[in-house]
Amino acid sequence: MPDTITITDDRTGKTVTVPISGGVFPSSALRELDPSLFMYDPAYLSTAACKSEITYLDGDNGILQYRGYPIEQLAEKSTYLEVAYLLLNGELPDKVQLEAWTDDVTHHTFIHENMRKRFVDGFHYDAHPMGMFVSAVAALGTFYRDAKQIDDKESRDKQILRLIAKMPTLAAMCHRFSVGQPFVYPNNDLSFPGNFLNMMWKVGEYEVDPRLERAMDVLFILHADHEQNCGTTAMRVVGSSHADPYSACSAAASALYGPLHGGANEQVVRMLTEIGSIDNVPAFIQEVKSGTGSKLMGFGHRVYKNFDPRATIIKKAAYDVFEVTGKNPLLDIALKLEEAALSDDYFVSRKLYPNVDFYSGLIYQAMGFPVDMFTVLFAIPRTAGWLAHWQELLGDKDQKISRPRQWYTGVEARDYVDLGDRG
Ligand code: CMC
């Protein structure tokens, strides 16, 4: 099969042949044909906006790999900090590197006193933790004058370390404020997930259950990256203007907040609660299909058209967590909903399967997290992915400031009409 593609402009008869590799051809073909030619591609359905070596995703076969390692193996054998190192550096750390990296992260978990007191106290008492988190990430950058030195590798590495280490602290800070409990300082004797759980829940003598600590870490691993999703694209777009990484991460977190993206886990639990009983599942499915109700939250994906491998791992992890916490009463409704959807032609023909958010909310809820915190839990580990993409972007000679074109469909030029003459 030839490894080129030929495009002909029927208006001029001009023909351009360009290489095609991995199903992708360069848009320079269009510029060669006619520099004023643009593709109309809403939501970037057919656009590869970058080359990337970080995450491989095969939606038809349900494959997800970080730097070539299958997600199933990473979820079984590694820790989130190892995975973060892998995403950022391209290789798994050896023992010495992992020790140094863990030590570095552990010693950057504290936040400035002004953040945990004066900043957070400014929020309304019922502020949504994810809204607080988005603002807190941007605000964090103002404490580091070197944050803007993005051309200096040493400074970039430092910001990366700070962001990865402080995200759990910011997340727990937002939670504690929203439930009116005092801030808990990081405990550097604990693991990354253990420290987070401790900052979330510590009241009096609290000890982290090692099974929940491991479950938290597995969830962090599964959420660490997912190539060019909406949040990561926001990270790259904002990063392309050479904004500091705190501002870019805050933009990425804002994108994640939406119910069609990371906000879906929250919506799944709200949906299951509203359904209330397995007897109501058929009527709910009917409502979704008729278009009169909402979508089936936690189902469907832009890329996965067979199954989401993260959902399979999460479903198993859910049972591990329920052994400790007791079963989430919403599980039966979720299972019935999944069964009903997977045997219904509406969902099958559209290739709609459970995604990562379908079961993650049930685990979070069983672990005691309030629904409002679910998207924050997604953002903590996704920071590693955002920063890996940010680094890659800054080192990519093909990249420039993001600036798509538009298809103008407004009125043609006309003369200004004075207010008195407008009737
Ligand atoms: N429930 C019912 N119908 C659906 C659903 C759903 N969850 N998802 C897609 N469809 C229908 C959609 O209405 C359309 O039907 P038709 O062809 O008749 O117009 C068809 O399936 C194709 O959907 P689409 O909206 O063109 O697909 P997309 O790739 O633009 O959207 C999605 C992907 C994830 C936004 C969408 O499936 C969705 O809204 N799902 C529910 C929200 C959700 O669970 N989001 C989490 C995504 S995974 C975590 C993450 O990456 O953030």
Residue 293: per-residue pLDDT? 77
Q: Closest residue (by CA) to atom 45 of ligand 1?
A: 260
Q: Are residues 329 and 242 in the same domain?
A: no
Decide which of 315, 349, 366 is a domain's last residue. Answer: 366
Query: Quick check: is 409 in a domain?
Result: no
Are 292 and 148 members of one domain? no
* Residue 78 placed within a domain: yes
Q: Please indicate, yes or no, whether residues 88 and 145 belong to a single structural domain of this protein.
A: yes
Asked if 15 and 101 sit in the same domain, the reply is no
* Shortest-distance atom of ligand 1 to CA 303: 29
Q: Examine residue 163 and state whether it is found in any structural domain, yes or no.
A: yes
Round to whole Å and give the CA distance between 248 and 212: 31
Distance CA 62, CA 304 (A): 6
Instruction: Return the residue whose CA atom lies nearest to atom 26 of ligand 1.
Output: 302
Nearest protein CA to atom 32 of ligand 1, as residue: 301
Task: Show the domain range for 17.
Answer: 4-48
CB-based contact 51:39 (threshold 8 Å): no
Q: Is residue 413 included in any domain, yes or no?
A: no
Count the alpha carbons within 13 Å of 338 in the hemisphere toward its beta carbon.
Answer: 18
Residues 40 and 136 in one domain: no
Contact 265, 355 (CB under 8 A): no
**Cα(259)–Cα(298) distance, rounded to whole angstroms?**
10
| Domain-embedded: residue 55 | no
Query: Tens place of pLDDT for every residue, the chain, 423 residues?
Result: 889 999 999 999 999 999 999 999 999 899 999 999 999 999 999 999 999 999 999 998 999 999 999 999 999 999 999 999 999 999 999 999 999 999 999 999 999 999 999 999 999 999 999 999 999 999 999 999 999 999 999 999 999 999 999 999 999 999 999 999 999 999 999 999 999 999 999 988 889 999 999 999 999 999 999 999 999 999 999 999 999 999 999 999 999 999 898 888 888 999 999 999 999 999 999 999 998 878 999 999 988 888 889 988 998 899 889 999 998 889 999 999 999 999 999 999 999 999 988 989 899 999 999 999 999 999 999 999 999 999 999 999 999 999 999 999 999 999 999 999 998
Q: 325 and 241, same structural domain?
A: no
Looking at the fold, whether 302 and 333 belong to one and the same domain comes out as: yes
For residues 8 and 105, membership in a common domain is answered with: no
Taking a C-beta distance cutoff of 8 angstroms, is the pair 273, 26 a contact? no
Domain shared by 248 and 269, yes or no: no
- Which CATH number does the domain housing residue 280 bear? 1.10.230.10
Measuring CA to CA, how many Å separate 137 from each of 38, 95, 319?
36, 31, 33
131's CB contacts (< 8 A; 6+ apart) are: 257
Token pair for residue 272?
Answer: 């299951």
**Where in the sequence numbering do the catalytic residues fall?**
261, 301, 357
If asked whether residues 341 and 389 sit together in one domain, one would say no
Query: Is 309 within 8 Å of 72 (Cβ atoms)?
Result: yes
Residue partners of 115: CB distance under 8 A and separation at least 6: 136, 139, 140, 143, 170, 173
Q: What are phi and psi of 255, to 5 degrees?
A: -65, -40
Q: Same structural domain for residues 212 and 94?
A: yes
Residues with CB under 6 A from ligand 1: 226, 229, 260-262, 264, 288, 295-302, 350, 352, 355-357
304 CA from centroid of ligand 1 (Å): 11
Q: Name the residue with the closest Cα to ligand 1, atom 52.
A: 261
**Domain match, 207 and 332 both:** no
Question: Taking the model in full, what pTM does it have?
Answer: 0.93
In a domain, 325, yes or no: yes
Sequence-distant (≥ 6) Cβ neighbours of residue 110 within 8 angstroms = 166, 169, 185, 186
Query: Which atom of ligand 1 is nearest to 256's Cα?
Result: 52
Partners of 24 in the β-ladder? 21
Q: What is the CATH number of the domain that holds 91?
A: 1.10.580.10
Q: How many distinct structural domains can be found in the chain? A: 3
DSSP letters, 246-258, are: HHHHHHHHHHHHS
Q: What is the pLDDT of residue 237?
A: 98
Q: Which residues pair with 8 in a beta bridge?
A: 15
How would DSSP label each residue in 306-322?
S--HHHHHHHHHHHHHH
